[in-house]
Structure formats: C-alpha cells, structure tokens
Structure 1
Amino acid sequence: MSLHVPPPGSPFPGGYPGPPEPERDSAGLGILTALVVALIGGTVYGLVAGEIRYEIGWAAIGVGFLTGYSASKATGGPNPFLTAVAAVFSIGGVYLGELIVAAVINSEELNIPVTELFLSHSEPVTETWEQIFKDTWTLLFFALAAVGAVAGARKASAD
C-alpha cells in the first residue's frame, strides 16, 4: 500500500493510504494469457523461420520468455503453477512454429497457400516436420522455450 502526499493544509500531515491495489491473482487469466502469447509467438517464429529457412534458437527462447512473462504479469505476481503452464505452452508454441515452417516449405513446393496447407492438408506438414525437425536439436529448442518461460516468469515477478 502506498501513501499519497496530502494537499497543503490537509489534516493528515504524514499522508494517507491510497486506494487498495486490485487483486489479479486469477489463474484462469494467466492460463489464457500464456496460451494466446504462445500461439502468437509460435506463429511469428514459424513464419520468420520458414521464410529464411533457418531455425533460430533465440526465437525459441523468446517465445518462452514472452509466454512466461505475460502469464506472470497478467496475474500480478509469481505463481509456480502458471510458470509450469507457461513452460508447457511455450513448448507447444515452438512446436506450432515448426509446423508452420514445414507448411511454408511445402506450400512453395506444392504451390498451395500456407494457410490452406496448414489447415486442410496436415499430412504433408507433419511428414515434413518429422523429416526436418525430429532430432536432438528440436528437443534442445523445446528445452530452451521452457527455460525461457521460467526466466520470463521470474523477471515479471521481479518487476
């Protein structure tokens, strides 16, 4: 609770308590925020990596960091449950991004728009993902996303 400076001539010379801080300890809001941020971050990651045809490690960390940071900020403080949820969602966001990379690659080869290929023809996308991304590096990127989510949640709690 913070003290507000009284106006001149006020009967409260030491200040007076301000309005109470709003409580935002809502796990539902944090989960929803983490989900939305992970989906948006994963989509952006996938589109960028697909266009340059290169997997970007710091982008996976960024997806995780933004997911953890946003979830923690939305609830107003640290919450170990939400940190774990953000880590899982950030892994899902990176996986979504990798599927989008596979869709971008296939869309150029098959001459089908990325959205149509991603939403209607998932078989070539998953086959391409298995060929390109199913390796140790993919596990590392998933781990980086989860670590980024934990770091983001801690940073938000420190702010």
Structure 2
Amino acid sequence: MSQHFPHLPDPEPERDSPALGLLAAVIVALIGGVVYGVFGGEFRIEIGWGAVGLGFLTGYLAGKAGGANPLLQAAAAVFSIGGVYLGELVIAAVINSQDLNISLTRMFLDHSALIEETWDLAFRDKYTVLFFALAAAGAVAGVRKGGAR
C-alpha cells in the first residue's frame, strides 16, 4: 500500500525487460512447438488454429514478461515461426515413428534426415507459408495484448 494514500494500491512494477520477454518467447515457442507437433502427429493433421494459438501465446507471455516493445514483437514473431516449424518436424517424426514402429526418441536421434525429408515432401507447401504468417501475426497481437498497461 502507498504510505501517502493508504486506500490506493502500489503501482504495478514496470515490465520493460526485453531480455526476460525474449527468454519467455523462446521457452513458449519450444514447448508450444512440441505440443503442437505431438497433437498434430497423433491426429496426422496440421492445425491452422494451433499455429495461431502458438504464436499468440508466445507473444502474449513475451509481452507480459517484457512489455510491448516493438523489437520484442518482431522477435516473438520469429520465434513463433520457429515453434511452428519445430511442431511440423515433430508431426513428421510422430507419424514416421508410428509407421516404422520405433520410438520417437530413436526417430529423432537416428533418422533426422527422414524427418526433414518427410517435412519437405508432406508439409512444405502454400499452407506452410500461411501457418508461418498466422503464427507471426498471432505473436505480434499477443505481445501487444500482453504488454499493454
């Protein structure tokens, strides 16, 4: 409580820590990408709303941690695109591991070229660009929403 005005709460602390926002964006994009990929792999589908959600969540938590810094918006957009790309690689890995009846860990460790080849053949198309754009737009909106005071 404020000493001069006991009925007013203390002001909210400043959230202009772009480094903390960047760290949040990286962590959320990585975890979100894996979750997006496992879910998509189990159902054998890319989910456009998943890309938007991953981007928005990445941006929102980055904005909550680091404020509405325009550079943080750009970084969150880039990290969310990376998260969607990671998710698509995980989708390819999950599908291949099921088809080849090997563990997901073994798929990543021993057959990474197959994962990349599957992504190149099955996922790299006009929708990939759309999903990347949706994730980036979601991230920018998320930073603005999360960083708003």
TM-score (norm 2): 0.91
Confirm or deny: 8 A CA contact 2:15 2:64 kept in the other structure.
no
User: Aligned residue for 2:136?
Assistant: 146
Equivalent-residue separation in structure 2 for 1:157 and 1:110 (angstroms): 45
Pair 1:72-2:63 in alignment: yes
- Unpaired segments of 5 or more residues in structure 2? none
- How far the C-alpha of 1:15 sits from its partner, in A, is 4.7
Equivalent-residue separation in structure 1 for 2:48 and 2:65 (angstroms): 26
> Once the two structures are aligned, what percentage of the paired residues are identical?
62
Larger radius of gyration: 1
Equivalent-residue separation in structure 2 for 1:18 and 1:104 (angstroms): 50
More helix by share: 2
Pair 1:109-2:99 in alignment: yes
- Unpaired segments of 5 or more residues in structure 1? 7-11
Q: Which amino acid aligns with 1:73?
A: K
User: Aligned residue for 1:9?
Assistant: none
Aligned length: 149
CA shift in 2, pair 1:158/1:28, >3 Å: closer
CA shift in 2, pair 1:123/1:140, >3 Å: same
Q: Secondary structure at the match of 1:25?
A: coil
Q: Secondary structure at the match of 1:78?
A: coil
Does 1 or 2 have the higher relative contact order (CA < 8 Å, sep 6+)?
Answer: 2
Equivalent-residue separation in structure 2 for 1:151 and 1:115 (angstroms): 34
TM-score (norm 1): 0.85
Q: Which amino acid aligns with 2:64?
A: K
Pair 1:156-2:146 in alignment: yes
RMSD: 2.0
Equivalent-residue separation in structure 2 for 1:20 and 1:56 (angstroms): 41
The structure 1 residue matched to 2:85, chosen from 95, 98, 104, is 95
**Deviation by residue 1:65-106 (Cα, 9 ceiling, x = unmatched):** 00000101002x210001100000000000000000000111
Equivalent-residue separation in structure 2 for 1:157 and 1:22 (angstroms): 12
